[in-house]
Amino acid sequence: MLGSTDKIVPATGAPPSAIRGSKAPSGPNRLSYPRLFLALSVAAASDVVSFWTVLLPPVQLGIDLVTAAALYVVLGRRWALLPGLIAEAIPGLGVFPVWVLVVISIFLYDDIKARRKADLPPPSFRP
C-alpha cells in the first residue's frame, strides 16, 4: 500500500514531467521555441536593416548595439553575443547574416549541451 509520502517512479527512467507530455525545455538555459522565434525575428530584422546601412557605419553600429541589447534581453547572458557584436562592428561584414548565425549557434550549443547532459545519442539523419 502506498503512503502519502511514497512516489511512483516511471519504469522508463524519464522524469515525470517528460511522461506527462510536458513540452518545457530541459535545463535552465535551454531556449523555448517562442523565445527562439523572437530572437530569430530580432536577428533577421537587424541583419536586413544592417545590409542597407553598410555605407553608414555609425548608424550600423547603433543598430548592432540595439540588437545586442535586445538579444541579451531575449536570450539572457550569453557569451556568443559578444563575438557577434565584434563581427558586426567590422566594416563590410554587415552584409552577412551574423546575428542570425549567432542565435542559431546559441540554440544548437544548448541542444548539444542538453544531449550530452542527458547522455542521448545525436539524431540520425537518413536520406
Residue 29 has pLDDT above 70, yes or no: no
Higher-pLDDT residue of 47, 11:
47
Distances (CA, A) of 37 to 41, 107, 122: 6, 11, 23
- CB contact at 8 A, 27 and 117: yes
pLDDT score for 16: 44
Residue 48 has pLDDT above 70, yes or no: yes
Residue 35 has pLDDT above 60, yes or no: yes
Phi and psi of 72, rounded to 5°? -65, -40
pLDDT score for 11: 46
Higher-pLDDT residue of 53, 113:
53
Query: Whole-prediction pTM value?
Result: 0.67
Average pLDDT of the segment spanning 16-42: 67
Residue 77 has pLDDT above 50, yes or no: yes
pLDDT score for 27: 53
Give the single-character DSSP code of 3: -
Cα–Cα distance, 120 to 123 (Å, whole number): 9
